[in-house]
A = this chain, B = another copy of it.
Amino acid sequence: MTTSTSLRRTLAGDLRPAETVMIEGFVHRRRRLASVLFLIIRDRSGLAQVVITEDRERAEQLGEETVIRATGRAVANPQAPGGVELVDPELEVLGEPDGPPPLELWRPGLKASLPTLLDHAALAWRHPARQRVWRLAAAALQAFRGALEAQDFTEIATPKLVGGATESGANVFRLDYFGRPGYLAQSPQFYKQIMVGVFERVFEVGPVFRAEPHDTVRHLAQYTSLDAEFGFIHDHRDVITMLRSVIAAMIEAVAAVPGADLDLPAVPAEFPVIHFAEALALVGADPGEPDLAPEHERRLGEWARTEHGSDFLAVEGYPAVKRPFYTHPQPDDHRWTNSFDLIFRGTELVTGGQRLHRLADYRAALAARGEDPEPYADYLATFGYGMPPHGGFAIGLERFVAQLTGAANVREVTLFPRDLHRIAP
């Protein structure tokens, strides 16, 4: 059971009839027939079938997830995955599992509760259907960056250890930073705005941290934020246009993942836009409501579908009272703002908008809220250096993938989720 290591590895997906080929992978499944044993080998490209007729007793011992190298003849067999199988193999064990795995990866679906999947995440992600979920996420990440780089955005890397809360003090993680208080950044908001002063167009993909005390299907203590910010805009409508191009690229990339098999939305040439006040009227809500309830968003999603044939709807003009202090007001009526939420199939997917860019406006906005400007001194300095009109948006990777795949819980699409109860694995 030893074999030449000089032979180059062939991936399962590349298997073609040949005299001698070598494959390597995990024993995904053993299928025992009377006259023959099949080992189904899984590698990063897919599955390959190895046919064992001799020395069967030894091969029978190779439990699921054993890592093996198989060298043999590749022959056509329409019944085998990919139409080719490996016969007369020499087998070599590269890595032995410590007993049968606690999940049966060879079954088409993983029949386990969410807590069990999360406890055994290292194993559960090996399941082909789970792998596919993350491949969608990875494709979305790559497309997000590619779409922005193609439009002259520069990637940035900003501090996750900060001296003050970014978004609100309510759900921030505190830590001891060399003897003084430090916080984990809740978003790169301030830094991406600062960097608009440098590169005009910037993006960052990175972890953000929220000490969410609530146990919901949409919140995590750490998630991956896809942030973009850019200058020299007219108003938030330019941000919606840019967001559309990015979302289109991300969905195109997700659609190209082999086996994705998703009910993916068509991305319209322009996202339909409705004003917050009209949206309230449309769903029959009190015109004084400061926010949209989930039920309102759901009905707006239906309306966009019916009225515009679109799975997407941008709601602009959110009330100033519900938006952060850096939000740019609607020029003709300061009750409203130049900010928006993008609703996808009835659920909020992205938040964005135009920001204030004048120092005097920042000072006034903080004063109006009775906030001390001192903790924001480093941030405010930027606006004292001269800044263009600018805006941006942030997409939560996990929510994006959950909504595209129809996952009920963001934890299903997060490699190793962190929440109120979970800091491992």
A residues bordering B, Cβ < 8 Å?
A: 5, 9, 24, 26-27, 43-44, 65-67, 94-99, 101, 120, 122-123, 125-126, 131, 134-135, 137-138, 141-142, 145, 149, 152, 154-163, 173-178, 180, 182, 184, 191, 194-195, 197-201, 206-207, 209, 211, 213, 221-222, 224, 232, 234, 357-359, 378-379, 381-389, 397, 415-416, 418, 420-421, 423-425
Contacts and interface: CB of A to CB of B under 8 A. Distances in A.
A365 to B, nearest CB: 16
Given A44-B200, A182-B423, A386 B66 contact: yes
Given A66-B386, A173-B182, 18 more contacts: A5-B234, A44-B154, A67-B388, A95-B389, A125-B195, A125-B198, A131-B198, A134-B199, A137-B157, A138-B156, A141-B155, A157-B207, A157-B415, A161-B221, A162-B423, A173-B176, A178-B221, A195-B415
Contact of A232 (B9, B65, B158): B9
Would you list the 4 A-B pairs with minimal beta carbon distance, nearest first?
A378-B425, A98-B384, A65-B386, A97-B386
Contacts of A385: 65, 97-98, 101, 122-123, 126
12 contacts: A24-B388, A44-B154, A95-B386, A98-B383, A137-B157, A138-B154, A159-B222, A161-B209, A173-B177, A191-B416, A379-B425, A381-B425
A239 to B, nearest CB: 16
Contacts of A224: 157
B178 A175 contact: no
Contact of A95 (B176, B194, B387): B387
Contact of A197 (B126, B141, B155, B381): B126
A177 B422 CA distance: 10
A44 B26 CA distance: 49
A201 B152 contact: no
A191 B121 CA distance: 11
Contacts of A5: 234
A367 to B, nearest CB: 16
How many copies of this protein are present in the complex?
2
A394 to B, nearest CB: 15
B207 A95 contact: no
B418 A159 contact: yes
Contact of A206 (B154, B161, B207, B389): B207
B163 A386 contact: no
Contact of A420 (B9, B141, B176, B178): B178
B180 A423 contact: yes
Q: Name which of A94, A383, A389, A420 has the most chain B CB atoms within 10 A of its CB.
A: A94
Contacts of A131: 198-199
Nearest to A363: B98
Q: Name which of A158, A201, A384 has the most chain B CB atoms within 10 A of its CB.
A: A384
A370 B29 CA distance: 38
A381 B371 CA distance: 49
A211 B161 CA distance: 11
A154 B137 CA distance: 10
Contact of A199 (B44, B97, B211): B44
A89 B264 CA distance: 49
Nearest to A125: B198
A293 to B, nearest CB: 28
Contacts of A120: 381
Nearest to A423: B163
Given A156-B415, A161-B222, A122 B381 contact: yes
A266 to B, nearest CB: 26
A98 B359 contact: yes
A232 B174 CA distance: 41
Nearest to A162: B423
